[in-house]
Structure 1
Amino acid sequence: MAAPRAPRQSDVAAGLASRPRSGTLAVRLLMLVAAAALPLLLLGMWTLWDEYWTQRATAERQLVEQARSLGRLVDGEFDRTVSALGILAHSASLSRGDLGDFATEMLAARATLADHDLQPKTDIRIRLLDTEGRLLRDTGLLDGSIPAATQRGIPAALAAIRTGKPQVSDLIVGPFTRTPFVVAIVPVPRSGSAQRGASPAAGGLGANIPAPTLRAILAEAALPRGAVASLHDRQGRTVAQSAPDATATGEPLPAAVAKAAGGADAGLLPDTVLGRANDPLRIAFARAEESGFVIQVAVPERTFLAPLHEGLFRSAMIGMAAMVLVLLLSLAVAQGIVSAFGRVPDLVRAGARAPHPTFPRTGLREADELADALIRSEMELHRLNQELELRVAREVEARDEANVRAARAERLQALGQLAAGIAHDINNVLQAIQGGAALIERHPGNQATVKRLAGLISEAVARGSSVTRRLLAFGRQGRLRVESVSVEELLLTLSDLLRPAIGPGIALEIAPTNGLPPVRTDKGQLETVLVNLASNGRDAMPDGGRLEIAATLDHVLEGMPAPVPLSLGRYVCLRITDTGSGMDAATLARAVEPFFTTKPIDKGAGLGLSMAKGFAEQSGGNLLIESAPNRGTTVRLWLPVAV
């Protein structure tokens, strides 16, 4: 057969020219910067949007709380009037029926109520009513006389007299002066014992609270710019509002507010309501706890949202400025990296051609390391070329010596079979080491994982040194290093090494072993046996399959049959099952014989199962193999529980 032709320089050049162009380092760095900046940008946008809605919710809660506060102020004004009337209702002159002296006390009480920063002094009137609500005395009449024609009292007065509890009327508009006001009424207690079935009160005392007084209370509140607060009675009519707009008195409460106030004590309308100028309004409402009046606070939508939009815009500008600054810094760093790596080829050529090795610097450690490595590679390649001719001459001489050794090899065939079996075990150890090293390469930055895998590799090396002891164990001549071994920890340790060793086409399943007691055995030899059994299962599944390792607690009691000879006691049974080709009855009968194997000579010498059985028996347990053609193989290994 002709030797393969060495590639010519023109072929190499043509191959390099035909390969697809790769992206430059500068482009990759820009993509990296963009990939890092995009999540930050999205996070910043989401943060701004979340902060906007948080501040908006806070502003809405503050608007509702202002409506509640105004409700408490209105109830406070009603309570102030009711308290003054309550004191007057218990007057001694009224109890003895001296209405002349009582009229003087009514004027004094009127002066007390009028002594208020917000109270228009000329609008306060106190009235004394009988049980039918008819007027008996009125401070509005200068001489205190009773009018010639009296009318039946208002519903609130009749309710106070009937129930004996203070009442606050809805909006009342004076028939002559057209002045809007509400009336606070308290019952006048009866003197002595009341007749059965009679009203619990002897009459009523009422005082009007003018709408301007209530408007002043609303106007004194620190409302948002452009906001208007309004007070509405229990029928939904407007009593007063903070803006000096007399035409609003008596107007009904907006339907949306009335509907919302009917189902909640306070809140914010979910949708805007058009105002008189067709401008959208944000409306908060609250119902006064004592009087039941409704307070409405309306703010133009544009005014309400203006500070929120200003804060959002300001935060967005600050975030954009920070992002631009970060991008500029990133681009500057990327340019420095590209420049450093761009100088590497020239530095390598200059360093390799120098009479003495030189290692110029780029200013970037990674680029310097790359240049140093390439210079050393160039120097090593030159040295290897010089050694190649010498090695060719030595190979010719070695070929002649190989012919002589070939005859001697036949005499060592038997020894070679034994060595092949040992090499099979050593190969399993090397596979475990290779698997651990591969995992370390995949997780170099995880110190805990690297440390654990380094320990596993050290243990695999220790298993390699136990080959001699295992051979002695097979012949029942070696000594076991017996110790208490946790099966759960052992299987967890082996799982990371077995997965890469058995290959990607085989699914490794290790059943949970929680609560199993430790076993008494040699840990290193047990690990080697499990690795050998897993390797046998792998070899039986060249087209892939499933390898399962499980462990259970078995009890061997007197009179109870056991699948294999075992002494009485407790054992942990390790079960290794594969879905491979299986064994027929003849092969199964000889499976544990030394040097019996169905594999090629370079795949093992047939010592794995025989040494596993010898190890199990020397540990005080036993081994059982179950298999059938095309049904896989199950190996059970019993080990005694540590005392």
Structure 2
Amino acid sequence: MPTDAGERQLKRRIRIGSRGRLLIIIGGILLMPAILLLSWALVLGLSRAQSSVENGALVRAETMRNAADNQLAVDLGALRTFATSTALAQRNWEAAATRASTVVEVNPGWKAVLVVRRSTGEVVMRAGAADGPDPAVSGAAPFDVVRDGTGCPCVVLRQPIAATPDHDVVALIDPGTFQPMAMAAADDGRVTALVDAEGRFVARSLDYPARVGRPATQYVRSAVQRGGKGFYRGRTYEGLENYTAYVTSDLSGWSAHVAVNRKLIDSPRFWLFFVIVGGAWLALMAAGGVLVYGLIDLNARRQADARMLRLQKSEAIGQFASGVAHDFNNLLTVVIGNLEQIRSDAQAAPDITRRAGMALEAAQRGARLSNQLLGFARDGHADAGPVDVIELLNDVSELVRQSVGGGVAVTVRADPHANLAHANRDQLELAILNLALNARDAMAGQGSLTVETSLQGRWVEIAVEDSGPGVPAEARGRLFDPFFTTKPEDQGTGLGLAQVQDMATRAGGDVRVEDAVGGGARFVIVLPVAGSGQTASAVTD
């Protein structure tokens, strides 16, 4: 039975434990948004880092495209002005050539000026470059870059001569004019390029002499076909894995390309993915932890409630047992007094004297048991010491037979080696009697009952086995709880097995229930061998 101090301590632990669990749950709940906020902050930071790299590359590409457009606009303006000259209008090709030579001289990067008959591709006038027909140049489209031919590599500009139908004036511009623009965008080691509308290099930061006028990689040509601006993943001729920003010119169809080392974008993307997944995982782990802890807390609360219920039941047991034991003890005092008077009467018949002696012995045993019950109810720790188990079984066997009735065959088997156990004798007698009476009720007064002892290492085991229906599996978890009973409401109090377990626990042992061989129930009281010094924690089922 729990003491008042023990009950107060248990209640205090329950209150402290509840507050601690509540704080942990609140902390777990607050941890989830903290993890999400931190993850979001890291995501923003990594996104900004990635965007900074991408936007920086796009800005460089736009700058290169704008510089090329500006230069082309200047060159187109000069070419259009020349196309309106009087010499061209009058088809005075000699005078036009003289004027064209001057134009070539005053415009940096110009290599030659030609007049081409559009229908045949014939060059009817040339100035500034070596004389001679050049089909590759004369047939080129506006803004094409041509690698091979007279005066090439060159960029071709064309302007129709309004006064002379079927004739175009063509300017050949040195692509090197645009090379500084590509190099300016590559000042930190990036690979940059200008390509025409057909995907041929106009300028390139790496290996320009070998690449000018030649087709770019398939990644570049695919971007040229898409037009507009954006990013694509590719590989340069030098094998550099990269992401490339590109911007297309509306004026010429040229596109500016700025390649960025793939690690500068993939690394933020990787960490971005890692942070998103990791943050979500941590948040889910925190949520799962809170949920699991909440379930554990709920189970702990249920267990605490169960302990409090057992405390309350134990208090009720104490009050009930105390009252019953007190009243029963008063009745036995009267019975014992009268029996002693009958036995001491010299005139009494021998048979009456014998029967009075037996009744007196039973009444005295009842008095001892009522005192034991009173001590149990008042949380008194009855003295435990060496008990001769064989002698106890000899003394209690007749009482067991009388108690279970003639319909139950009682067998007692005592192991001579299991003779001394550490327990309280009166409590052990009451425990065996309780188990015998429970067995009788389970067998409805008909069957067999076996009480036997055995020595198991440093433990004495006292088994009470019946041939009844056995204990239902669903009842075993609560079998030793106070007030729990499988008997009808008017036939059991649910206190007998609780007293059996209390006796065994106080002696440093335990009690267990098993299925008997062939059917029935087998209750085993496990007690330390007298002087072994073992405790209940060492008892195993």
Classify the TM-score, shorter chain: 0.3 to 0.5
TM-score, with length taken from structure 1? 0.37
TM-score, with length taken from structure 2? 0.43
Greater gyration radius: 2
